[in-house]
Every structure is written in structure tokens, then in C-alpha cells.
Amino acid sequence: MTSRSRNVYLVPYLLWMALFIVVPIALILYDSFFDVEGQFTFGNYGKFLTPIYLRMTASSIWYALLITVFSLLVAYPAAYALTKMKHKQLWLLLLILPSWVNLLLKVYAFLGIFGTYGFVNGVLETLGIGRHQILFTDFSFVFVSVYIFIPFMILPIYNALEDLNPSLVFAARDLGASAWTTFRRVVFPLTLDGVKAGCQAVFIPALSLFMITRLVAGNRVITLGTAIEQHFLVTQDWGMGAAIAVFLILAMVVIMIVTGKRQKGGAR
């Protein structure tokens, strides 16, 4: 504090920031104004506004919403149940452990489980419902995504529930609220930040993960992520891919602002 020695640690860190955050984002923006021949154009954005792309965007957002909502519906009770357990830490570790297993392997497993002769179809057949095409359907895409994202939703909600002062719950009960009212009026509002953080952690990847769609939803381009991958690595139309990426970045910023605001106020 005495001699105002300059902050030398800042140099490599800022260098990293410039090189791998500022420059790449600038490059994406720059590239989005060029067509395949390298000519300057606004055409990529024009193309993005055609019905084909708008429909794809809408469907991507719709799937992401579905995935987020289902993950939340499964994860909130799980996180709540977790806080009631005796060996919380152990249970938490066990629930988080699968998220450390390579995502591709888990997706790959569903190729077998949902396959024509796989486990699920086997069960359906014994129940007399008969075999169905499950793999490469919207259902398999949403189910596998929810499966992948559940741990990411549980963790922030669990943390928010753990941070909740238990005497608030007792106070609500003491003031005559039923268990359900207590949850609705006290517990849920106070854990909203965790819910928001969880939704953020699920929604953005759900918009953009392309390998799940590629592996279990067939070769259909139904998410923004798949579209970007398609343009960059298959059709080599970087400009169009960059334009979609710019849209995705904008969407991300919006989501961050919407879900981020309260978090600041709620921070201790």
C-alpha cells in the first residue's frame, strides 16, 4: 500500500483478456459482414431474417425453454430433498459426480438405451405398447438434454436453499402459514436467485450445444448451436455462422441482464 507499486500482475491477465475475449468477439462481429467470397455484405443478417432462419431460431428457443423448465421441475424438488437429508454433502457429491463424466459418453449411452432394440423399447414391448422410434426424435433430444443439465440446475438451487436462514421458515410457520404457503411466499422467493442462476446455466448451453442434437436428434439443424457448427465446419460459410453467433451473443447478454439483476441486490 505504501509505494504505489504498479500492478504488474495485471499485464499477463489483461493480455489474455485482450487476446482471447476482446479480439475473438471483434473477429466474430467482423466476419459476420463478409460472404463466402470475402465480399463485404449485410446479406448474412438479411438471410438470418428469412423465415427459414427465424423458424429455426424460434424452435431453438422453444427447445431451450422446454429443457430449462423440465430441468427446473426435476431439480428443485431434488435440491429441496437434498437439504433434508442426513448426509447432505455425500448425496450432493453423488449427484454432481455424473456431471464430471464426459458428456459425450452419457449422450452415447442413450444411443443404446433409446435404440430400436434398446432398454426402453424392451420395456415398452413387455408392457404391450410395442416398439417405437425414440432415437432421433424431439423427445429424445429434450430428454437427454434435461438429463445432462439436471446437476447444473440442482447445484445453485441447493446452495440458495442452504443459505436460507431456517428461522425464516419457523417464523412463517409461527405466523400461521401452512407448509405450502411458507414455501410459496417465503422459501421460493428467497431462493429465486439460485433458480435464476440455474436457468442461466441451462438455457444458454441448451441454445447452443450441437453434439446432443447431432447424436440423438438426427442430422436435423434445430438449434442455433447446430446451425453455427454447420456453417463453420460443414458448409464453410463463416460469415453466416458468425452472424448467427452474433445473435446468440446478443441473446446471451439479454439473458444475463434479465437473470443477473436481482443477483446483485440479493448478494450479501
Partner 1 sequence: MNKSKSGASIYLAVIFVILYAPIFYLVYYSFNSGGSMHGYEGFTLQYYGEVFQDARLLIIVLNTVIIALLSSAISTVLGVLGALAIRRVRSRRARNSLLSMNNVLIVSPDVIIGASFLILFTMAGIKLGFTSVLLSHIAFSVPIVVLMVLPKLQEMSPSLLDAARDLGANGWQVLTRVVVPFIKPGIFAGFFMALTYSLDDFAVTFFVTGNGFSTLSVEIYSRARQGISLSINALSTLIFLFTVLVVLGYYWLNRRSSKRLGMGVPK
Partner 2 sequence: MSTEQTIIQFEQVTKRYDDGETVLKSVSFEIERGKFYTLLGPSGCGKTTILRLIAGFLEPSEGEIRFDGKVINRVPANERLVNTVFQDYALFPHLNVFENVAFGLRIKKLKQAAVEAKVLEALRFVNLKGYEKREITELSGGQRQRVAIARAIVNEPEVLLLDEPLSALDLKLRTEMQYELRELQRRLGITFIFVTHDQEEALAMSDEIFVMKEGTIQQSGTPTDIYDEPINRFVADFIGESNIVPGSMAEDYRVQFAGKTFECVDGGLRPNEPVEIVIRPEDLEITTPERGKLQVKVDTQLFRGVHYEIVGYDEAGNEWMVHSTKKVEVGERIGLDFDPEAIHVMRFGETEEEFDKRLLAYEEIGHDQ
Q: Quick one: which segment of 123-131, 169-177, 180-188, 221-229 binds partner 1 (CB under 8 A)?
A: 221-229
Q: Quick one: which segment of 22-30, 41-49, 125-133, 156-164 binds partner 1 (CB under 8 A)?
A: 22-30
Interface of this chain with partner 1, residues 78 to 137, rule: CB under 8 A: 78, 80-82, 84-85, 91, 93-95, 97-98, 100-113, 115, 117-119, 122
Nearer to partner 1, 66 or 80 (CB): 80
* Residue 243 binds partner 1, judged by CB under 8 A: no
Nearer to partner 2, 7 or 167 (CB): 7
Q: Which residue's C-alpha cell is 432421433?
A: 136
**What phi and psi values does residue 40 have, to the nearest 5 degrees?**
-65, 135
**Shortest Å, Cβ 70 to partner 1:** 13
**Shortest Å, Cβ 1 to partner 2:** 6
Q: Which residue in the set 160, 195, 240, 248 belongs to the binding site for partner 1 (CB under 8 A)? A: 248
* Residue 257 binds partner 1, judged by CB under 8 A: no
**Residue 105 touches which of partner 2, partner 1, none (CB < 5 to 8 A by kind)?**
partner 1
* Residue 164 binds partner 1, judged by CB under 8 A: no
User: Could you write out the three-class secondary structure of the chain?
Assistant: CCCCCCCCCHHHHHHHHHHHHHHHHHHHHHHCCECCCCCECCHHHHHHCCHHHHHHHHHHHHHHHHHHHHHHHHHHHHHHHHHCCCCHHHHHHHHHHHHHCCHHHHHHHHHHHCCCCCHHHHHHHHCCCCCCCCCCCHHHHHHHHHHHHHHHHHHHHHHHHHHCCHHHHHHHHHCCCCHHHHHHHHHHHHCHHHHHHHHHHHHHHHHHCCHHHHHHCCCCCCCHHHHHHHHHHHCCCHHHHHHHHHHHHHHHHHHHHHHHHHHHHHCC
Q: Which residue in the set 140, 229, 240, 243 belongs to the binding site for partner 1 (CB under 8 A)? A: 229
Nearer to partner 1, 156 or 225 (CB): 225
**Residue 217 touches which of partner 1, partner 2, none (CB < 5 to 8 A by kind)?**
none
Interface of this chain with partner 1, residues 176 to 215, rule: CB under 8 A: 200, 204-205, 207-211, 214-215
Question: What's CA 205's distance to the chain center, in Å?
Answer: 4
Q: Site residues (CB under 8 A) for partner 2?
A: 1-3
Distances (CA, A) of 149 to 67, 192, 210, 241, 257: 8, 18, 14, 25, 22
* Residue 34 binds partner 1, judged by CB under 8 A: no
Nearer to partner 2, 1 or 8 (CB): 1
